Amino acid sequence: MSSLIEQAGRAALFRLDPERAHDLSIRALAMGLVPLPGRAFTSDRLATTLAGMALPNPVGLAAGYDKNARVIAPLTRAGFGFVEVGAATPRAQPGNPKPRLFRLTEDRAIINRFGFNNEGAEAICARLAARKRGPVPVGLNIGANKDSADRAADFAHVASLAAGAADFLTINVSSPNTEKLRDLQGARALAALIRGVLDARDASAARPPVFVKIAPDLDEAALAELAAVLRDSGIDGAIATNTTLTRNGLASRHAGQTGGLSGAPLFRMSTRILARLYRHLDGKLPIIGVGGVGSVDEAWAKIEAGASFVQIYSALIYQGFSLADRIARGLDARLGAENTTLAALTGSAADRWAA
């Protein structure tokens, strides 16, 4: 259960416009006003590695919350096994017009159309470089400017700036809120983009791992093509999935808003894509499962479907920062009760979820 302080803070934030509430939560974290566990829960069952990075547990924070790397230190004390900030673009940009963030409370969901609003890669990477490393890996989600004439070059440019500052990089070609960005998920375009990012990464002595985040709205042919590129590209893993453009079965009055839908309604769609990607990759790359994870059962299901790790974000809005610690402890207890391991669980029900 979340604390009374956390519940009261969340109730106060829900009285505000969603984007203002988001900004205030960042300020509250920076000022030390949010109760945090202090360290990530770990155990022999939960401790794992992701592309060579040691993680205390497999429960991470997805990109989008701390877009400008303003509160890295408190986020690394919030119970997460790893943290992803951003997305960062080469130049600062304001994003799409407001309002652009909507709570679908009845659906336990969020719709956003931020459009990569951020302070620019130089400012973000400077904060990443200045941080004290540890206790958990901190990665950067990288994107392209809305008005860029060469978006693939944008990704490579941010990678070159971030390679020595971030513990990992995520290529984000799956946000629905930058026009035609998802076109970069096509096989030829994606292969070329990845080559550019890896070349930029390899110029750094640090050579952080690189992941690719995919959309949940891919048909089977597109997913198979994309998986083939990922297998042969030299990247270190995949993240499945980003937000969706579909709007099935929603109850909220905000259901018709444009943008990416995240939260509980995304769970089944994203888990199905995850399972299908797992089968296509045939164990060649680790997968981080994200989309609708708000409980131990949902994290467990993602792992069964093929994820070795999970990320959460939208559920934090409804349940607070204690959620990461609760999921990690719950996974540990269930692994013990069922006498299994994360490795044995991963993909054990992929066929069922892919159907």
Compute and round to an integer the Cα radius of gyration of the chain: 19
Distances (CA, A) of 299 to 9, 58, 292, 322: 25, 10, 9, 15
Q: How far apart, in whole angstroms, are the C-alpha atoms of residue 352 and residue 197? A: 35
Q: Do residues 276 and 220 make contact, with C-beta atoms less than 8 angstroms apart?
A: yes
Residues 107 and 264 sit within 8 Å (Cβ to Cβ): yes
What DSSP designation does 259 have? S
What are the structure tokens assigned to 55, written together? Answer: 């993680």
**In whole angstroms, how far apart are CA 264 and each of 8, 29, 64, 318, 341?**
23, 25, 17, 11, 26
Per-residue tokens: 150: 């060469």
| Rounded Cα distance, 54 and 325, in Å | 18
**Do 115 and 96 form a contact (C-beta atoms < 8 A)?**
yes
Which token pair is 1?
């259960």
Torsion of CA 161, 166, 171, 176, to 10 degrees: -100
Alpha carbons 195 and 214: distance in angstroms, whole number: 17
Active-site residue 308, yes or no? no
Q: How far apart are alpha carbons 110 and 259 in whole angstroms?
A: 10
Instruction: Give the C-alpha distances (Å, rounded to integers) separating 93 from 87, 142, 145, 146, 221.
Output: 11, 14, 7, 8, 34
CB distance 216 to 223 below 8 Å: no
| H/E element, 232 | helix 220-233
**Cβ neighbour number for residue 231 with a 10 Å cutoff:** 15
Residue in 175, 233, 262, 270 annotated catalytic:
175
Catalytic positions, written as ranges = 175
